[in-house]
Amino acid sequence: MSSHLVDECAAPPKNCFRLVVLGTARVGKTAIVSRFLFNQYDDQYTPTIEDFHRKMYRIRGEVYRLDILDTSGVHPFPAMRRLSFLTGDLFILVYSVDNYESYMEVMRLREQILESKASCKTRTAAPPMIIAGNKADRPESEREVLYDEVAKWVSTVKKCAFLETSAKKNGNINELFQTLFELAKLPPEMSPSLHRRVSIGDQAWEAAKKGISFYPRGKQDDNPLGVVSPHARRPSLRSDLIEAEAKAEQEQRRAEKPSIPKISSALSPYRSQYRSCTWMSLLRQAFQGLVRPAGGQVCRLQVQHRCYNAPAAGHVQVDMNSDTGVATVRLNRPPVNSLNLDVLTELSIALEKLETDRSCRAMVLASAVPGIFSAGLDIMEMYKSTPERCVAFWRALQDAWLNLYGSRLITMAAIEGHSPAGGCLLAMSCDYRVMADGKFQIGLNETRLGIVAPFWFTDVMLCTIGHRETEKALQLGAMYSAQQALSIGLVDKVVPADQVMSTVQTELKSWLQIPDAARVITKTSMRKQVLDRLSSQKEKDAQFFADFILRESVQKSLGAYIASLQKRKS
């Protein structure tokens, strides 16, 4: 029976909740979720990237939906992590009693969640949380975290409970969820021991879905049911945000705050500062706590997120072909696909999602804007900006690049137009490049803007075309035609514009024949040094960028370059 039948019996938004499970690697997050959903325990450890589960309930005549996000214990996916903080309604933070560092991480996670929530102010500042001290079955001699220490800390924080658990021995798992659901004011019947677990197709569930009583009159209400959706897929970013909006409105109505201004008036002071922002992007900046009124003081926005109804097409379109395992990711920010904070954040999330999609083996990076691959970084992000905004922008670029360059997927760039600077970086970071012949140009032209390509741009170019060509290319800020780029190895193939995509697909066939594991290990070993060089100094690099770009002389050069672009146009 297919999973869509579960959704036929859709829960109203007020009954939909997302539970996010967080903690470092190897503390037993997946084991706890597995006990909760299937009452199973697997002794084998397989690191989780991100798993999504959905459980539907029929309780006292109402339908409820609980989505569970079982997150990665390591942090190569920062954008996904931020999104999980923002979209979670309730949280389980897991540490292992034999690992003190994992407990410290739980304390940090709580702070980060609260910070995220406070920065958007659309949700309750302190969401319900429970701390799980897992692996309580371990011998006392191995214990590093004392029960009393955690209990003391938890007693001082709001809306937070604590239990020691053992997913292995099924110790306190039921109590863990029951306590959390009570804290969140959800029906206690959602906890494992208080409802009947059924499967799709079960007569009682089928009857419940149709609103028919399977049991003798009146009995159904006393008989809560829960069913795990077998093929649940994580909703898209857009669905996540739309749901966040619905929740925010619901909470506002509940809080009865009629004086909160509508988004248009609440955000109007910010529009003058961020000229080209869409409502969607303003919202995202509000989520990131970045929007400041023109006067300079940080403002916590209280907005009704009507903006989702405004036309706000995604800047990154993802088309996944599940038959071939190949995803096509298209940049879509007319007129020139310049990369601003918004695009980079969306790109990061798209890449992270593909990375975690086990059915995806390859990704084609392309453009939805004719004649342009990408014009590189949005110069307006670097011109007359603030230090905070510059740092946030640079971090978003770092994350997007780390995700792309370090991807396990086969990555191919379909360059159907101009590709200067940051556009060239994206293309070079793929495994293979096919470029359209003709008038289009590609290269790292930073010096022409009076700025300097950072070390990781340079590293990628060195790996692509070698030292001598890189030295010339960077000093001159050289832009190459497709044929010139082919001759120095900057692209791998040049074909007429209308054959770029079909050529990429043909090339992909031979790449897809190679076993993934061997290819990924080879790719990682080739790229690790360059990735590590940035990973080890991300913050320093971001600060350096902000300091450099805001220098008066650099701002003057950027101003002149912007003027030259406009002049060329007229």
- Under the criterion CB under 6 A, does residue 313 sit at the interface with ligand 8Z2? no
State which residue has the least CB distance to ligand 8Z2: 376
Residue 222 is given by DSSP the state G
- Under the criterion CB under 6 A, does residue 377 sit at the interface with ligand 8Z2? yes
Query: What is the sign of the dihedral through the CA atoms of 332, 337, 340 and 345?
Result: positive
Q: Where are the alpha helices (DSSP H) in 59-171?
A: 78-87, 100-120, 147-155
Helix (H) or strand (E) holding 560: helix 552-569
- Under the criterion CB under 6 A, does residue 476 sit at the interface with ligand 8Z2? no
Distance, CA of 223 to CA of 319 (rounded, Å): 42
Site for ligand 8Z2 in 326-355 (CB under 6 A): 335-336, 338
Query: Nearest 5 degrees, angle CA 127-CA 130-CA 136?
Result: 165
| Cβ 279 to ligand 8Z2 shortest distance, Å | 20
- Under the criterion CB under 6 A, does residue 380 sit at the interface with ligand 8Z2? yes
251 is catalytic: no
* 24, 445, 458, 464: which one binds ligand 8Z2 (CB under 6 A): 445
Output the six-digit token pair for 355. Answer: 């990375």
Contact, 344 vs 301, CB < 8 A? no
| Cβ 84 to ligand 8Z2 shortest distance, Å | 30
Residues 6+ apart with CB under 8 A from 456: 401, 530, 533, 534, 541
Residue 12 is given by DSSP the state P
- Under the criterion CB under 6 A, does residue 451 sit at the interface with ligand 8Z2? yes
Window of 34-42, 154-162, 441-449, 465-473 that interacts with ligand 8Z2 by CB under 6 A: 441-449
| Cβ 567 to ligand 8Z2 shortest distance, Å | 10
Pairing verdict, β 50-59 and 225-228: antiparallel
Q: Which of 352, 381, 446, 469 is catalytic?
A: 446
Site for ligand 8Z2 in 233-262 (CB under 6 A): none
| Cβ 306 to ligand 8Z2 shortest distance, Å | 28
133 is catalytic: no
- Under the criterion CB under 6 A, does residue 315 sit at the interface with ligand 8Z2? no
* 63, 93, 106, 549: which one binds ligand 8Z2 (CB under 6 A): 549
| Cβ 382 to ligand 8Z2 shortest distance, Å | 7
| Cβ 377 to ligand 8Z2 shortest distance, Å | 3
Residues 6+ apart with CB under 8 A from 7: 229
Beta partners for 129?
A: 91, 160
Q: 222: how many CB neighbours lie within 10 A of its CB? A: 8
Q: In terms of CB distance, is 30 or 403 closer to ligand 8Z2?
A: 403
422 is catalytic: yes
Q: Is 486 left (phi over 0), alpha (psi -120 to 50) or beta?
A: alpha
Residues 6+ apart with CB under 8 A from 471: none
Q: Helix 516-535 crosses helix 387-405 at what angle (to 10 degrees)?
A: 160
Distance, CA of 528 to CA of 199 (rounded, Å): 45
Residues in contact with ligand 8Z2, shown as a per-residue x/- string from 400 to 439 under the rule CB under 6 A:
------------------x-xxx-----------------
Q: In terms of CB distance, is 375 or 392 closer to ligand 8Z2?
A: 375
- Under the criterion CB under 6 A, does residue 548 sit at the interface with ligand 8Z2? yes
* 109, 375, 460, 504: which one binds ligand 8Z2 (CB under 6 A): 375
Q: Which of 341, 445, 507, 534 is catalytic?
A: 445
Q: In terms of CB distance, is 89 or 399 closer to ligand 8Z2?
A: 399
| Cβ 434 to ligand 8Z2 shortest distance, Å | 19
* 279, 393, 401, 545: which one binds ligand 8Z2 (CB under 6 A): 545
Output the six-digit token pair for 58. Answer: 């029929």
Q: In terms of CB distance, is 109 or 316 closer to ligand 8Z2?
A: 316
Q: Is 201 left (phi over 0), alpha (psi -120 to 50) or beta?
A: left
Q: In terms of CB distance, is 153 or 544 closer to ligand 8Z2?
A: 544
Angstrom CA distances, 315 to 26, 236, 329, 332, 385, stand at: 36, 14, 10, 5, 22
| Cβ 335 to ligand 8Z2 shortest distance, Å | 4
- Cis, bond preceding 13 (omega within 30 deg of 0): no
Residues 6+ apart with CB under 8 A from 398: 534, 538, 541, 542
* 67, 378, 431, 507: which one binds ligand 8Z2 (CB under 6 A): 378
- Under the criterion CB under 6 A, does residue 459 sit at the interface with ligand 8Z2? no
| Cβ 451 to ligand 8Z2 shortest distance, Å | 4
Residue 235 is given by DSSP the state P
445 is catalytic: yes
Angstrom CA distances, 239 to 146, 211, 250, stand at: 41, 27, 16
Distance from chain centroid for Cα 285? 15
Angstrom CA distances, 392 to 226, 267, 268, 462, 558, stand at: 43, 20, 22, 27, 19
- Under the criterion CB under 6 A, does residue 565 sit at the interface with ligand 8Z2? yes
**10, 260, 22, 37: which is closest to 127 by C-alpha?**
22
Site for ligand 8Z2 in 175-204 (CB under 6 A): none
Output the six-digit token pair for 10. Answer: 């859709």
Output the six-digit token pair for 465. Answer: 């075309």
Contact, 448 vs 436, CB < 8 A? no
Window of 22-30, 45-53, 362-370, 540-548 that interacts with ligand 8Z2 by CB under 6 A: 540-548
Residues in contact with ligand 8Z2, shown as a per-residue x/- string from 13 to 52 under the rule CB under 6 A:
----------------------------------------
* 468, 509, 567, 569: which one binds ligand 8Z2 (CB under 6 A): 569
Helix (H) or strand (E) holding 397: helix 387-405
| Cβ 422 to ligand 8Z2 shortest distance, Å | 3
Q: Which of 90, 351, 377, 474 is catalytic?
A: 377
Window of 104-112, 125-133, 370-378, 522-530 that interacts with ligand 8Z2 by CB under 6 A: 370-378
| Cβ 286 to ligand 8Z2 shortest distance, Å | 23
Q: Which of 422, 423, 443, 477 is catalytic?
A: 422
Per CB under 6 A, residues contacting ligand 8Z2 are 335-336, 338, 372, 375-380, 418, 420-422, 445-446, 449, 451-454, 544-545, 548-549, 565-566, 569
> Hey, which residues are catalytic here?
377, 422, 445-446
